[in-house]
Structure 1
Amino acid sequence: MRIHHLNCGSLRTIPPLGGPSVPDAAHRELAVVCHCLLIETDTDGPVLVDTGLGTADLREPDRALGADWVAHAQPALDPAQSALRQVVRLGYAPQDVRHIVLTHLHRDHTGGLADFPHARVHVHPEEYRAVTDPAAAHHRHSLDGFMPAHRAHGPLLTPASADRRETWFGFPGVARPQGLSFELLLVPLPGHSAGHAGVAVRDDDGRWLLHAGDAYMYHGELENTPPLDHPVLDPVQRGAQTDASARTATRDRLRDLVRDHGDEVTVFSAHDPWEYARLAAVNGRR
């Protein structure tokens, strides 16, 4: 198995506030990323984790993403960054991607779904319920976040199978996507969306990667004491969250995870460009 770190959408450029030692990147402005994974497996083909911005988003951003969001996020609109183009560059046909796993259903994570219309799209059952059950809590907020342009093709949205007794490093409510034969888990990280979850995958060396989605947006939230918010990203996070106290509790649990199990788990978020630069550089040296 090989895990590729992909940036599937550069957004507005922001300054650093300190952070990890990243060659040529730690002390300069970088564009916010849409950090996705492509997992090459022997049994299930290439599996995408999140999809960033899709090709239709880049052709007609105001229509697909919303003019207000585009004005604020300032996406680069570079087709080469789409998951579709990057999958092809790695030697696969689009139809080879049979499984996509999403942290949640907001627009900067679902844009590429229409580029892989045949793929099964796995989400945590709470996120699935939020967009399919009219009576679900936070239903309207969650459905509004799942853009009509990203669901017009009828994505094969599938709830993962949850076992409330199963935990991952003490995190409860873990769910397993159906039909995947390698070790991948959806780990509830509540607060950002109704069913927001991290995606945990174990590599061939036995070490875990946790794609924490939008549970936090800046490495200073986990690495600094007290937590250091980014002045550009923090208002975005607060505006999108469904439960402020749950989000703060999730952040604190992730801080504990990094402190207590940093030798077993690498945690990263969906949008921090300094985390992405560090992990992409490691990926490039393999």
Structure 2
Amino acid sequence: MLSKDLIVNKLYIIPAGHGMLKEFFFNTNLGADNPELLYSPLCIYLLDTSDGPILIDTGFAEVFLNNPDFYKGTPLEGALYMYMEEDHRLPNLLKRAGLQPKDIKLVIATHFHSDHSGGNPYFLETQTPVLVQQNELTILDDENYSPPACRIKGLNYQVIDGDYQLCDNIRLISTPGHSPGHQSVLINTASSGYVLLCIDAALTEANFRNNVPYSAADPEVAAESLKKIQAITAEHNAFPIFGHDEKQAKGIKVYPEFY
């Protein structure tokens, strides 16, 4: 699929909207009745590589477009608000980098939650390969898991099971718990060395540094996955990028800057 010695020239982080979530999602020790809401930044990740552009995650489902009250009247009312604008539709995010969905050589799907896979429909017609963990495919029929746009059966799925060395400089790390087939991504970039995209295996620095428990489908498995990425980060002296950390998002390099 890709050259073994593929070079990751640049890792771009592209902001893609934000959510307001109950603090409980980030720290389950607080209890579900805690009323505080926290800002939750959302990004997609674009790799400029010697084999062409690779996309990691595709952002919000478009049911959230100018519709932060999507969950009104559901069990999540008051706990979760998604803020998506026209600029956050995937084609507009890619346009910032001079790209269209058809230009993407490979999509890495970390998981199928509503804020990470909402742009997947743009790869139906192109039949771009979408790399996904086998266990994440088990939720495609689960209407409570995420909106339909995030659970498309007709994509060109390239299915892996467990850790997977995509090429010398990109390694997929199986980190289930937050979702059945969640995966993180270890990238060796030409200019910045190793970067670990924790995605939702560590939502915040507090989760990563202090083992603060967060919302997960299987908390025990999630805790083991957290230990795994902590060890990998230490082994490679990698820079960890957390999934939804407001403080980190304020200081991180975003497009057109890169890692």
Fold-level match, TM-score > 0.5? Answer: yes
CA separation of 1:62 and 1:112: change in aligned 2, threshold 3 A: farther
Q: State whether structure 2 residue 34 is matched by structure 1 residue 34.
A: no
**How do 1:1-286 residues align onto structure 2 when only pairs under 5 Å count?**
1-12=9-20, 31-43=39-51, 45-55=52-62, 57-58=64-65, 68=74, 69=76, 72-117=79-124, 118=126, 119-128=128-137, 130-131=138-139, 144-152=144-152, 154-160=154-160, 162=161, 173-177=162-166, 183-205=169-191, 207-224=193-210, 227-228=211-212, 234=214, 237=215, 241-258=216-233, 260-261=234-235, 264-280=237-253, 284=257
Partner of 1:74, secondary structure, is strand
Q: Is the 8 A contact 1:114 1:153 kept in 2?
A: no
Q: Which runs of 5+ in 2 are unaligned?
A: 1-8, 24-36
Q: Structure 1 residue 250: deviation in Å?
A: 2.0
Using the alignment, how far apart are the partners of 1:200 and 1:283 within structure 2? 21
Q: Is the 8 A contact 1:54 1:114 kept in 2?
A: no
CA separation of 1:266 and 1:282: change in aligned 2, threshold 3 A: farther
Using the alignment, how far apart are the partners of 1:97 and 1:51 within structure 2? 11
Partner of 2:158, secondary structure, is strand
CA separation of 1:190 and 1:100: change in aligned 2, threshold 3 A: same
- Aligned-residue CA RMSD in angstroms? 3.3
Q: Is the 8 A contact 1:6 1:280 kept in 2?
A: no
Using the alignment, how far apart are the partners of 2:256 and 2:77 within structure 1? 30
Using the alignment, how far apart are the partners of 2:84 and 2:258 within structure 1? 28
Q: Structure 1 residue 56: deviation in Å?
A: 5.2
Amino acid of the residue matched to residue 250 of structure 1?
S
Partner deviation per Cα, 1:125-152 (whole Å, 9 max, x = no partner) = 3323x247xxxxxxx76x7424323345
Using the alignment, how far apart are the partners of 2:154 and 2:73 within structure 1? 23
Q: TM-score, normalised by structure 2?
A: 0.75
Partner of 2:117, secondary structure, is helix
Q: TM-score, normalised by structure 1?
A: 0.69
CA separation of 1:59 and 1:221: change in aligned 2, threshold 3 A: closer
Q: Structure 1 residue 254: deviation in Å?
A: 3.2
Using the alignment, how far apart are the partners of 2:193 and 2:183 within structure 1? 19
Q: Which runs of 5+ in 1 are unaligned?
A: 16-28, 133-139, 163-172
Partner deviation per Cα, 1:13-37 (whole Å, 9 max, x = no partner) = 789xxxxxxxxxxxxx973112220
Q: Structure 1 residue 285: deviation in Å?
A: 7.2
Amino acid of the residue matched to residue 38 of structure 1?
L
Using the alignment, how far apart are the partners of 1:55 and 1:281 within structure 2? 23
In the alignment of these two chains, the number of paired residues is 235
Partner of 1:145, secondary structure, is coil
Higher relative contact order (CA 8 A, sep 6+): 2
CA separation of 1:270 and 1:201: change in aligned 2, threshold 3 A: same
CA separation of 1:285 and 1:268: change in aligned 2, threshold 3 A: closer
Partner of 2:190, secondary structure, is coil
Using the alignment, how far apart are the partners of 2:15 and 2:195 within structure 1? 16
Using the alignment, how far apart are the partners of 2:171 and 2:186 within structure 1? 5
* 1:21 paired residue number: none
Identity of aligned residues (%): 20
Q: Is the 8 A contact 2:173 2:184 kept in 1?
A: yes
Q: Structure 1 residue 203: deviation in Å?
A: 0.6
